[in-house]
Structure 1
Amino acid sequence: MRTLTTTLLGGVMLALAATPVQAQEATFDNPSLVPQMAVKAAKEAVKDCREREVQVTAVVVDGGGNTQALMRARYAGPHTIDTAISKAWTAVSFRTDTVELGTMAKPGKTGYGLQNLPKVTILGGGKQIMAGGRVIGGIGVSGAPSGKIDDKCATAGIDAIRKDLL
């Protein structure tokens, strides 16, 4: 009897060990932008704006909104650092580029008021960095005379690393 119980118990234990349902539900893969790519994107965004004769700060954050790279042009205003960080953070946090959020937050729209939340900046220049259909980071650019120019420079930063992304 003892051998049969041990065999049955061993079989049940083996079956439970072979089905890692708990582990799969409790974890997930979270791709992240490596620091070298973050630096490359920030540098390219600042370079693109410099070629447009605009002094900006570019910031790249990881998928959790943590700053990975910051590049400030020599004459970019002191406010551009915090604003670029906030734009990148906003794009990652809301999983939406800040140009689109700005449209959604206009009076009468469903997102009206979100611009009043802490750390949120809905001016153009904050973009998601995507790989494999997932947000792996964000870039924020601040300092141009318009959010449209900031947004173009942020796009240039992403384009510089696009081929390296999954």
Structure 2
Amino acid sequence: MGTRHIAVVTLSLLAGMFSVPAFPESASKQPLTVNIKRLSLDTALRIGKAAIDKCRKEGVQITVTVVDRGGDPQVVLRDTLAMDVSVPISRKKAYTAMEFNSPTSVMEERFKGAYGVPKLDELLVSAGGIPINVAGSIMGGIGVSGAPSGMTDEACAKAGLAAVQDDLEME
């Protein structure tokens, strides 16, 4: 018997000694898959376009980012004269709103101090991000950047969501 064969037999015996206990019976009745709704590309585009249209009416050129439920950008639209820096800012606002399932404007006072959660590079607690929440399920987030105030950014994000909210609720 070779050394390799002895090692395999030894490992097999050890594995039998440290077996994992069976799951409770209720766990075995769980579904094998989970159906998760996601925004379609067309819906995300409608959100982005409506946000840009609202800000244009205000005389402002912005960037809007729509992230999916995993926080990944699904749509990024940058108006012609929106500053380059508005692209990463809009993404961070959308991500933060999605992660906390809360408008970023209401979080500005919530996190204070040098070691708060928003110090993570991915997060930005500044008005202009709102979650996309449909029937109690988080679907993603919308972030807008480029307006002179965060409240204008947020109004444009809200206009983006309003463009699809009824359709999402009815589905």
TM-score by length of 2: 0.78
Q: Could you list the structure 1 runs, at least 4 aligned residues long, displaced by more than 4 angstroms after superposition.
A: none
In structure 2, the residue matched to 1:29 is 35
Q: Spell out the pairing of 1:103-114 with structure 2 (5 A cutoff).
A: 103-107=109-113, 113-114=116-117
Instruction: Give the letter for the 1:48 counterpart.
Output: K
| Cα drift, residue 115 of structure 1 | 2.2
**In structure 1, which of residues 76, 88, 92 is the aligned counterpart of residue 94 of structure 2?**
88
In structure 2, the residue matched to 1:97 is 103
**In structure 2, which of residues 33, 44, 53 is the aligned counterpart of residue 38 of structure 1?**
44
| RMSD over equivalenced CA pairs, Å | 2.0
Does the Cα contact within 8 Å between 2:47 and 2:164 map onto a contact in 1? yes
In structure 2, the residue matched to 1:74 is 80
In structure 1, the residue matched to 2:119 is 116
| Cα drift, residue 31 of structure 1 | 1.5
- Percent of counterpart pairs with the same letter? 36
Of Structure 1 and Structure 2, the greater helix share is in 1
Partners of 1:52 and 1:77 in 2: how far apart? Answer: 16
Aligned residues: 145
In structure 2, the residue matched to 1:140 is 143
**Residue 92 (structure 2) pairs with residue 65 (structure 1):** no
Which stretches in structure 2 are left out of the alignment for 5+ residues?
A: 1-24
Does the Cα contact within 8 Å between 2:101 and 2:133 map onto a contact in 1? no
Change (3 A) 1:20 1:66: same
Instruction: Give the letter for the 2:158 counterpart.
Output: T
**In structure 2, which of residues 124, 128, 141 is the aligned counterpart of residue 125 of structure 1?**
128
Instruction: Show CA shifts across 1:28-63 (max 9, x none).
Output: 332211110000000110110010001100010111
Instruction: Report SS of the residue matched to 2:148.
Output: coil
Instruction: Give the letter for the 2:104 counterpart.
Output: T
Instruction: Report SS of the residue matched to 1:70.
Output: strand
TM-score by length of 1: 0.80
